[in-house]
Amino acid sequence: QLHLVESGGGVVQPGESLRLSCATSGFGVSYYTIGWFRQAPGKEREGVSCLSVSDGSTYYLDSVKGRFTISRDHAKRTVYLQMDSLKPEDTAVYYCAGEDERITTVQRMCSELQHGFLGQGLQVTVSS
């Protein structure tokens, strides 16, 4: 079982930054792929960024490349999503997701929204 707890959402102005955190716990945490999904009002959920905790490989949605960075801290068992140069279109509920790395890849997890575990989500609002 994998337990995911998100933190760090909030309201910012365009151009500002936020860092989301996903604290993970449970057996075999190192063998999961962790990702961030988001869902804006009236839109379908999409995979923003995914990371393999074991080998560090990453995937990014085209619209966030160069602005968002996913990373992990092994000691803290936490995965971060650093979001810079935020735009109003980044406004959404962001979810931390986890999937057994043996049955997915970072690209598949994000593009197909594969997940065996999902956090409760947190709101990110970018508005002037």
Say yes or no to pLDDT of 94 above 80: yes
pLDDT score recorded for residue 85:
98
Write a three-state SS string for the chain: CEEEEEECCEEECCCCCEEEEEEEEECCHHHEEEEEEEECCCCCCEEEEEEECCCCCEEECHHHCCCEEEEEECCCCEEEEEECCCCHHHCEEEEEEEEEHHHCCHHHHHHHCCCCEECCCEEEEECC
Mean pLDDT of the chain: 95
Question: pLDDT per residue over 16-62, tens digit each?
Answer: 999 999 999 987 666 899 999 999 999 999 999 999 988 899 999 99
pLDDT > 70 fraction of the chain, expressed in percent and rounded: 97
